[in-house]
Amino acid sequence: MPNYANLRSRPKIQSIKPSTCDTIFYRHDGDALQGLRLAVGAQAKTWVMSKRINGKVRSITLGRWPELANGDAAMELARDKIAALEAGTDAATTSVVTLLDAFESHVLRSSAKPETTDNYRMQIKNHLSDLFSMPIEKITLPILEDAIKGKTPSTALHLAQIIRMAFRRAATLRRCFDVSADLKVMERHKPASHVLFDPKDTWPALDLILAKRSLIHRTAWLTMLFTGFRSLNTRTLTWDQIDLVRKTITLTEMKNGLTRTFPIADVLIEALMRLPYREGYVFPAESSTGHIHQLMALKVAISENPETAEVKVLRQHDCRRLFTTAARRARLPEYIIDELRGDTPKSVQDIYDQGSANHEDANKIAMSIIMECGLTPDTVVEQIKTPDYIG
């Protein structure tokens, strides 16, 4: 025989004693709350709704008492869940339960490079694993804000971008409110436009790079320095993008969306020819992506006294700064520099230009870089061909 209780009254619900054997189901004592039951076990009281949906009777678990204080609160939640089931936007139908599910659903529709999505997955694993494993309906704006709190501004901005990307997909599939829409990074990153040494002095770039023990890492740094390519474009290079005979490198889908073929300097050709293979990634590594994930900043102390030592640092993006500086000091025209940097066209002539930069321009910049580093082309090539060590 059915068990009845006043399920609209929190005190009455509280007075229901735990079951000492099997789960006991209570219905509301009245005409309201049709289909709603309270399942009372030894440890918990759980709200359950039974409803015929699309020709089948479905049993929907709504949540526990006292989080859902009474039957009216449970019914309000039930209406939302029933609407989602009828519309096919529930978790089971869409296969989007967690934020990670939403992210993977976005990736399936995305045209982003595998390297880019792999980088997103690494950021999720390192910084957002707890958040992305939560059921979407339990995520609130304060939870999102806590997830990026304490991160550096640049990391926080990147994580917020990944969160918004996943939540937009969840909102589309689950028809839920996008709580990430108001997620903001309060402390803004101020990008540094300067290198951590005085460019008026001799640049330590080549000395730092040529001292690298790893042939792979050393050549990757030389590629960034003599092309001005961004780190991601360099690390993900494949051999089918390089033509050692024509002395060119082709980048597809750069940061600005452009695809362009660049002439490269003779000194870089020499470095690339030292690599012992000609297929797959140019700079391979034992990683989830198969290529180098990161190139750590290079440092050198000028003095042996730790209290007065001046430390010179070369970061990945510094290579792009030095490449640009060397090009200007070589007095190359601005449109040539823009083309060699892969910048977005700025004028009508830039749009119509089919490639004014040539191999000689690349060599002029390489010569300028070598001179600024206090070396000569012959000594650099000699060190590239016969390094003190190859790791």
- Band (391; pLDDT cuts 50, 70, 90): very low
pTM value surpassing 0.75: no
- Band (190; pLDDT cuts 50, 70, 90): low
CB 141 within 8 A of CB 183: yes
Distance CA 211, CA 387 (A): 9
Concatenating the DSSP letter of every residue in 135-172 gives BGGG--HHHHHHHHTTS-HHHHHHHHHHHHHHHHHHHH
pLDDT at 302: 63
The pLDDT tens digits of the residues spanning 234-287 come to: 999 999 999 999 999 999 878 777 889 999 999 999 999 999 888 999 999 988
Identify which has the larger pLDDT, 388 or 152.
152
Distance CA 25, CA 244 (A): 76
Amino acid at 341: R
Contacts of 61 (CB under 8 A, 6+ apart): 46, 47, 48
CB 149 within 8 A of CB 72: no
Task: Calculate the average pLDDT of the chain.
Answer: 87
| Structure token pair of residue 363 | 């060599």
The pLDDT tens digits of the residues spanning 60-99 come to: 788 888 888 888 888 888 887 777 666 666 666 778 889 9
CB 91 within 8 A of CB 97: yes
- Band (56; pLDDT cuts 50, 70, 90): confident
The pLDDT tens digits of the residues spanning 330-358 come to: 999 999 999 999 998 888 888 888 889 99
| Structure token pair of residue 154 | 């640049």
The pLDDT tens digits of the residues spanning 105-126 come to: 898 888 777 878 888 898 999 9
Identify the structural domains of the chain with CATH numbers, from first to last: 3-87 (3.30.160.390), 99-182 (1.10.150), 205-385 (1.10.443)
The pLDDT tens digits of the residues spanning 125-137 come to: 999 999 999 998 8
